Amino acid sequence: MSLQQDRIVGVLLLAFSIWYGITTRAYTVGFVDDPIGPKAFPIMLAILMGLVSIYLIVQPELGQLPSLAATTWLRMLATLGCFLLYALTLNWLGFVLATALVVTLLTQIFEGPLLRSVVASLVFSLVMYGLFAGLLELSLPTGQLIQQMLGRT
């Protein structure tokens, strides 16, 4: 089990470095002042990673992925889902709602008590908006939904 893991990683990395090296073929310019051009550095990196990954295949180290319960994997996937959901809804719902929603969902993955989680997430979202958008002058999206609602009234 254990030695195989590094071998697989090594093979993947070797493939990656070959692809990374081959991709440089497209990067040509006739630049007089720049004798090695935009290719040379990436090629050096590709060769270096290729060599080290071959070493890893030949000389793997002991290692073992943790064996996790199915529910743990599900929670991890759900967490990633939350991150993507945030990216998808941020511009539409606006910062305050999207943050409150996604942080609430995350607290549920971490088994927080429902009512307190909702309240805490909403307060968190409002405080962060006040702090970062108000005090610290970051521009955070108001949200198309909110803008439409404000536009109607």
Partner 1 sequence: METLGLLLDGFQVALQPLNLLLAFAGVLIGTIVGMLPGIGPINGIAVLIPVTFALNLPAASALILFSGIYYGAQYGNSISTILINVPGTPASVVTGIDGYAMTKQGRAGPALAMSAVASFFGGTVSVIALMLFAPLLAQWAIRFGPAEYFALMVFALTMLSSLTSSSFAKALISTVFGLMLSTVGYDRISAVPRYTFGNIRLLDGMDFVVVTIGFFAISEIIEILEKYVKNQDVDTHVGRVLITVQEFTSSLWTMIRGAVIGFFVGVLPGAGSTIATFVTYATEKRFFDAKGELGTGAIRGVASPEAANNAAANGAFIPLLTLGVPGSGTTAIILGALLGLNITPGPLFIQNQPEVFWGLIASMYIGNIMLLVLNLPLVGMFVRILQVPQWFLLPAVAGISFIAVYAVNNSVFDLILMTIFGVIGYAMRKTGFPLAPVILGLVLGPLMESNLRRALNLSQGDWRYLVSSPLSIAIWVLVVVSLLLPFVMVRIQKRVTSVKDEPAES
Residues 2-41 that bind partner 1 (CB under 8 A): 5-6, 9, 13, 20, 23-24, 27-29, 31, 33-38, 40-41
Minimum distance between the CB of residue 122 and partner 1, rounded to whole angstroms? 12
Instruction: Identify whether the C-beta of residue 74 lies closer than 8 Å to the C-beta of residue 24.
Output: no
Among 7, 11, 18, 49, binds partner 1 (CB under 8 A): 49
> Residue 100 to residues 7, 16, 56, 79: CA-CA distances in angstroms?
43, 39, 45, 15
Rounded to whole angstroms, the Cα distance separating 75 from 37 reads 47
Among 3, 15, 22, 80, binds partner 1 (CB under 8 A): 80
Minimum distance between the CB of residue 63 and partner 1, rounded to whole angstroms? 5
Contact pattern for partner 1 over residues 98 through 117, marking x by CB under 8 A: -x--xxx-xx-xxxxx---x
Which helix or strand (DSSP H or E) is residue 69 part of?
A: none
Please tell me whether residue 91 binds partner 1 under the rule CB under 8 A. Answer: yes
3-state secondary structure of 139: coil
Minimum distance between the CB of residue 52 and partner 1, rounded to whole angstroms? 5
> Residue 85 to residues 6, 44, 99: CA-CA distances in angstroms?
33, 39, 10
